[in-house]
Chain A
């Protein structure tokens, strides 16, 4: 058609015009000739690449240009794609068309791109490069999933409720369209649009981190190594196992308590509660080391790292009570019998490199930590040290590169958006727009915060303070018997949705394995969405299209 051909021509022209303007800017403002710029973009590795040839504003313009152009091209392409076929496809195409023309969605999309382009220019250049890159990644990932989530709720709730309210649904359903086709078409449209937006945002992040930020000068060697080895990478994490059976230990203690003091167990809230507390206690004891003592931690499943032959990273964080005055602490780390480190600071994470050939042929690394400095008895620590239960001690090794990992993280964000789209569209089938929005937002918040909510429900300390005893018992009862179980029931279904913290994985350069991505795709993208869709369809099937709700 004549019409679309002119659109293609317009895109081509705008691309050329943008390119010319950008080169002019780089040349006149940043003083980099087009040849230098070209050399910069054609050299991928940072060892041989010339320094970044553009300043902050130039960088923002460049990123904006790339993103806007990619988005425009993508919109044209997905409209073409959805132009094939009948049934739900035209409905999906309509969604995309409306979403890319309606101010309510165009403005947030534009703002998102703007934010992604502007953040790198606002980072403090005095701070180490690794922190800058980490802030950028954390901020942009969170902004992307938040903004796109909100946009999805808006578009999804709008899709059907608005068409019923304003009456377009009457013309649509006087045509041969099945209700599930319509429902599915709406979700499909929003999800395809989301795929494009997620892809564009991911492109932006990849572009900013690898071609701009990562090629800025680092503070020192450690800084540039950290960027390469701890952020722009994808590492697998191995957590330590105890050399003995923690659960058996807890069971044993429980049995002893039951013999000695059965009444006390009842007072503490029953066998299950006491067992949980005991297990926690055993774990904590294993993770702490008294003065002049040692503890063993076993990392297994390292065959992969051994085969790759790359350095292992041992990451640990030590707490100490009481703190030594210089906050320096001496411990001995023995990895499979070989000593690796002596001194360390407390309360901030340390990374120690361990050669891969320390690992034994079974892929096991046995780490012994001694709370003692034999060479200098004068400065003997007299206090216990401990590793925090969560992430206090771990071994990491590279299994993949940054970009594929970023791609998987984007895929996860998208899968969650598919579910959110289905939820919002279905909410719009029986609720009016504002009510549907509130409904979908509530569920989204519950799902996204489910891990934290569950943690806070189960680990809230009950401090029996002084005061009105009876009143407290009553509220305690309500809290424990009613609030906790209902909240747990409501939220635990959603645990899958948020148990993987995508942004912290990327920020810490930790791998997101394909297995998890597949799980998310299957459970959240398919099973959950299908279940919600089925409920939505059953409701929608019995809805009177021409019935306006007041």
Chain B
């Protein structure tokens, strides 16, 4: 799928912010080399102030580099014509407060010289996709933060861009929109679009990115494919329906005798908060409750699927698959690569399944119990993500039934 064509090429990029007297004050980006090939989904990670947004702005020509060379589709970023192929969601949704959603998208559509009929079509689809049809004639100044974020996304997609740059796209978005964002990225990836994703939600990155770039202090500290960076070859998971403690002991014994190894952890997966949230909202929408806010949306704007044609994602079926009341474990055993081994990353992402205390009587967990509370809290805070990477065709499968690690 990945061709050799380079979409973004950055060499020795440095950005020094100067003050009014031209004295250097901040070195935001330092000697950065990066090349993004067509079809890649690049996850740009790093703590606050590490220079992610600055890099992106330079790629877009919104900031001028102090040193270094940037080429976008083989041309300098100041070339206005190539912006036709770019979509950008800035880190803060900055929209026109006095316009409504339709007028805003119409304005941006005009900047791309889209003919009226095409604009109308795309606006309808995009608003359907981001779930803002109900609020489309209200001024955007009245929108909630997440609604503005959704508008920002719609704005970035109006030209069906070849290169999509998303700067923290999911901040302020509800879990459904977050999930749809992920699916959208996957879908666009399948169509061969190039995406640069800049985010702090590591689960997001892990699920959709083909390559990670981790920045710190304006420099790249690590980069590589997700598999390369995340696989933990020393561990394996086995997923089954609940077993009696005796059986587990027997298995443990078996493993001991066969492989001279021990079971490290046994746990029952809990329904994840994301799933719970999706269920509640889905139910409310089914019951026909009114909202002045955003609705689920999720029908992918058709024009985004056009050139790919064949494999438009059915996002509705995704939502349909969610409200199942109880986790049902499939009668299948699959081996999985456990989530991040890297300690820091694991704590940040907070998407670890948590041990159920009820099972502790049967077998003492290998890991210290004190960690549970932290995971719980983090899970609540971040909106849990699935820890494992699955091919996109399988997303309808039950996310609730993730196995223990």
Contact = CB atoms under 8 A, between A and B. Distances in A.
Given A175-B108, A176-B83, A545 B62 contact: yes
A252 interface: no
Contact of A174 (B64, B86, B95, B110): B86
A184 to B, nearest CB: 14
A124 interface: no
Contacts of A544: 62-64
B103 interface: yes
A546 interface: yes
B62 A174 contact: yes
Interface in B91-144: 92, 94-96, 98-99, 102-103, 107-108, 110-113, 137, 139
Given A90-B110, A97-B103, A173 B96 contact: no
A222 B80 CA distance: 68
A28 interface: no
Nearest to A163: B94
Interface string A531-550: 00000000000001111000
A94 interface: yes
Contact of A175 (B64, B94, B111, B139): B111
B94 A168 contact: yes
A372 B61 CA distance: 83
B95 A177 contact: no
Contacts of A167: 90, 92, 94
Contact of B99 (A89, A97, A177): A97
Give the interface size bracket for B toward A.
Answer: 20 to 34
B94 A174 contact: no
Nearest to B59: A174
Nearest to A86: B113
A460 interface: no
Contacts of A93: 107
B112 A170 contact: no
A173 B92 CA distance: 15
A245 B98 CA distance: 65
Given A544-B63, A546-B57, A168 B95 contact: yes
B80 A178 contact: yes
B98 A102 contact: yes
Nearest to A103: B98
A101 interface: yes
Contact of B83 (A89, A97, A175, A547): A175
Contacts of A101: 98, 139
A176 B112 contact: yes
A166 interface: yes
Contacts of B159: 175
Interface string A153-186: 0000000000000111011111111100000000
B332 to A, nearest CB: 46
A238 B62 CA distance: 59
Contacts of B84: 176
Contacts of A360: none
Interface string B18-35: 000000000000000000
B266 to A, nearest CB: 51
B107 A170 contact: no
- Give the one of A89, A90, A102 with max B CB within 10 A: A90
B63 A176 contact: no
Contacts of A176: 80-81, 83-84, 111-113
Interface in B138-181: 139, 152, 155, 159
A172 B110 CA distance: 11
A40 B166 CA distance: 66
A391 interface: no
- Give the one of B60, B63, B107 with max A CB within 10 A: B107
B88 interface: yes
B62 A98 contact: no
A177 B80 contact: yes
Contacts, number: 78
Nearest to B111: A175
Interface string B51-76: 00000010011111000000000000
Contacts of B152: 171
A97 B106 CA distance: 13
A172 B111 contact: yes
A98 B137 CA distance: 15
Contacts of B155: 171
B88 A174 contact: yes
Contact of B94 (A171, A177, A178, A547): A171
Nearest to B109: A90
A155 B82 CA distance: 31
Given A177-B80, A544-B63, A544-B64, A170 B90 contact: yes
A515 B108 CA distance: 42
B376 to A, nearest CB: 37
A101 B139 CA distance: 10
A176 B107 CA distance: 12
A98 B88 CA distance: 23
A171 B108 contact: yes
Contacts of B88: 170-171, 174
Contact of A86 (B61, B86, B111): B111
A178 B110 CA distance: 13
Contacts of B86: 174
Interface string A29-73: 000000000000000000000000000000000000000000000
Nearest to A179: B80
B62 A546 contact: yes
A89 B102 CA distance: 17
A76 B57 CA distance: 37
B80 to A, nearest CB: 5
A246 B345 CA distance: 94
Contacts of A545: 62-63
Interface string A326-360: 00000000000000000000000000000000000
A174 B63 contact: no
A272 B113 CA distance: 62
B94 to A, nearest CB: 3
A45 B350 CA distance: 85
Given A170-B90, A176-B81, A90 B62 contact: no
Contacts of A177: 80, 83, 111
B96 A168 contact: yes
Interface in A71-97: 86, 89-90, 93-94, 97
A174 B96 contact: no
A398 to B, nearest CB: 48
A545 B56 CA distance: 13
Contacts of B111: 86, 90, 172, 175-177
Contacts of B110: 86, 89-90
B60 to A, nearest CB: 5
A545 B112 CA distance: 19
B167 to A, nearest CB: 10
A546 B113 CA distance: 24
Interface string B239-272: 0000000000000000000000000000000000
Given A86-B110, A176-B112, A546-B57, A94 B96 contact: yes
Contacts of A166: 94
22 contacts: A3-B137, A86-B110, A86-B111, A90-B107, A93-B107, A94-B96, A94-B107, A97-B103, A98-B96, A102-B98, A170-B57, A170-B88, A170-B94, A173-B61, A173-B62, A174-B62, A175-B83, A175-B108, A175-B159, A176-B81, A177-B83, A545-B63
Q: Which 9 A-B pairs have the closest CB atoms?
A: A167-B94, A546-B62, A174-B88, A90-B110, A101-B98, A175-B111, A176-B83, A546-B57, A545-B62
Interface of B: 57, 60-64, 80-81, 83-84, 86-88, 90, 92, 94-96, 98-99, 102-103, 107-108, 110-113, 137, 139, 152, 155, 159
Given A166-B94, A175-B108, A544-B62, 20 more contacts: A94-B107, A97-B103, A168-B94, A168-B96, A170-B88, A171-B94, A173-B62, A174-B87, A174-B88, A175-B159, A176-B81, A176-B83, A176-B113, A177-B83, A177-B111, A544-B63, A546-B57, A546-B62, A546-B63, A547-B63
